[in-house]
A and B are shown apart, each in its own frame.
Chain A
Amino acid sequence: MQYFVSVIADGTELANPHEMAAIDAFNDRLRAQGYWVYANGLAEPSTATVIDGRGEEPVFTDGPFLESKEFLAGFWIIEAPNLDVALKLAAEGSKACNRKLELRPFHGPEA
């Protein structure tokens, strides 16, 4: 079962070197124990472009799709057998990156 773990940051500053080192160590552990699927950090929200291709001509809008005090700063995709395991990993990840996380399951085949 895969879970999407988003990193919620209340500012746009990137991870500091100390946080970066902790994130690297956490990622190494995810890989070693088979939970890793993918992870990455995102550039700041001001670099975003919103695309609407539903009309005849695609429309591009500069900036994120909603104004917010909290931003999606990065994410993990983890593979875990159940929510208990996923929550435990996410708690460690939150400590490592020093930010709040939101965990959501991917839309499964049964859902």
Chain B
Amino acid sequence: MTDVRKAITQAHQEEWARVVAALTKRLGDLDIAEEAAAEAFATAVARWPADGVPPNPGAWLTTTAKRKAIDRIRRENKRDDKQKEAQMLYDDDPPEPLDAVRAIEDERLRLIFTCCHPALAMETRVALTLRMVGGLTVPEIARAFLVQETTMGQRITRAKAKIKAARIPYRMPSAEDLPARVSGVLAVLFLVFNEGYLATGPDTDPVRHDLTAEAIRLTRLVRALMPEDGEVAGLLALMLLTDARRAARVSASGELVTLDEQDRGAWNAALVAEGHRLVRERLDAAAAGLAPGRYQILAAINAVHTSARQVRDTDWSQVVALYDQLVRLDPSPIIALNRAVAVAELDGPDVALTAVDRLEDRLAGYHAYHATRADLLRRLGRSQESRAAYGKAIELTANTAEIAYLTRRRDQLG
């Protein structure tokens, strides 16, 4: 029984996106594909415990889903548009130009690119990707983003309707659009990861492992489908090296533990090793002349941190050099803020504070800006100002572990 349950869970993780993608391609309709896939998995849950797990679960699920879809189309055929639906149905695998790209392309990639289409709002892309590619249920996604189930259901329904009515194509982006579209997909995955890693809300766990795990799983999938893409590798490495520190990042009493105070022995060595391997792979590519993108540089920064056995072993000059490289690609004030944190270690808190203060007009509403200032002011002995900055940071933070940490720091000031 537990073996069957395990097999179903595994099939769901491995086959869900493949079943949805195969049916969408076949039927040209994401909505029918999703419903049929869900019915096929429900049938598996009902039948496998008695009938046993089929030798090829993926094929069984695809066949079952296809039958469910055909049933639904037949039902609808009785109502309207007979001819067109029948044509769609009996046109098995229409012939396609068999150029090299198409031959190796996995159908799941089209699904991912469709769900992350730039004509959809960011929150819609996230919801659709988790539903269609990740196989999460609507209630699960609603819980993850703290919205009502009906709201999330409507968001997904509207998205499917727009994809159909506006004819968002179910295909790989053209070569010239590919880099921008890939970075759109990565932005969706990174957002899912960050919502898990920096979970917000008073009644929420400070780290939502379900979301970080799902983001990593989906990024692994994209990596498997696009092994040549450096930014995909970079994002996966970044997630792994970040997630590796999860256990050390929140204390037993639920307080955030900053990088310098973390128990490095509690880091997940396997994830660190895998992340480092990916970063090395990208360093080799960079040495061969391929300029790294932002995720690769962020991953490299995390690799420097995770390479240091003690915080004092950290190669801060390399961290700052990597941030310099990142600032050239992405002049956002948040990157500049993170760079300043590294500068404090290399050149001292006074130099860093000057850099941080320059960001005030753009980051005054961002909790990390005030938390960084508070820490620098504390190190400079400017307790009064530090206390005020901690206060502002606490006001602007929604993560419970961060609030606990900042409060303790503030209350330690004389």
Name A residues whose Cβ lies closer than 8 Å to a Cβ of B. Answer: 1, 3, 81-84, 87, 104-105, 107-111
Contacts and interface: CB of A to CB of B under 8 A. Distances in A.
B201 interface: no
Give 5 nearest A-B pairs by CB, closest first: A82-B169, A111-B165, A105-B166, A82-B167, A83-B168
Given A83-B119, A83-B167, A105-B166, 11 more contacts: A1-B167, A3-B166, A83-B169, A84-B177, A87-B118, A107-B165, A108-B165, A109-B81, A109-B84, A110-B81, A111-B165
A83 B166 contact: yes
B157 to A, nearest CB: 13
16 contacts: A3-B166, A81-B167, A81-B169, A82-B168, A83-B119, A83-B166, A83-B168, A83-B169, A84-B169, A87-B118, A87-B119, A104-B166, A108-B165, A109-B81, A110-B164, A111-B161
Nearest to A104: B166
Contacts of B348: none
A7 to B, nearest CB: 19
Contacts of B173: 84
B196 to A, nearest CB: 31
Contacts of A3: 166
A66 to B, nearest CB: 24
Interface in B114-147: 117-119
Nearest to A106: B165
Interface in B388-405: none
Contacts of A110: 81, 84, 164
A107 B161 CA distance: 12
Q: Is the interface of A mostly helix, strand, loop or mixed?
A: loop
Contacts of A83: 117, 119, 166-169
Interface residues of B, number: 15
A84 B173 CA distance: 8
Most buried by B among A1, A87, A107: A87
A68 B173 CA distance: 37
Contacts of B169: 81-84
Contacts of A82: 167-169
Contacts of A108: 165, 167
A109 B167 CA distance: 12
A107 B117 CA distance: 21
A82 B113 CA distance: 14
A77 to B, nearest CB: 15
B119 A105 contact: no
Contacts of A87: 118-119
- Which residue of B119, B161, B167, B168 has the most chain A CB atoms within 10 A of its CB atom? B167
Nearest to A105: B166
Contacts of B84: 109-110
Contacts of B167: 1, 81-83, 105, 108
A3 B119 CA distance: 14
Interface string B346-361: 0000000000000000
Contacts of A107: 165
Nearest to B85: A110
Contacts of B166: 3, 83, 104-105
A50 to B, nearest CB: 28
Nearest to B177: A84
B31 to A, nearest CB: 11
Contacts of A104: 166
Contacts of B165: 105, 107-108, 111
Contacts of B119: 83, 87
Interface string B158-179: 0001001111110001100100
B124 to A, nearest CB: 14
Contacts of B177: 84
B266 to A, nearest CB: 47
Contacts of A84: 168-169, 173-174, 177
A104 B162 CA distance: 10
A68 B175 CA distance: 41
Contacts of B168: 82-84
Most buried by B among A3, A83, A105: A83
A5 to B, nearest CB: 12
A110 B30 CA distance: 13
Interface in B166-203: 166-169, 173-174, 177
A108 B29 CA distance: 14
Contacts of B164: 110-111
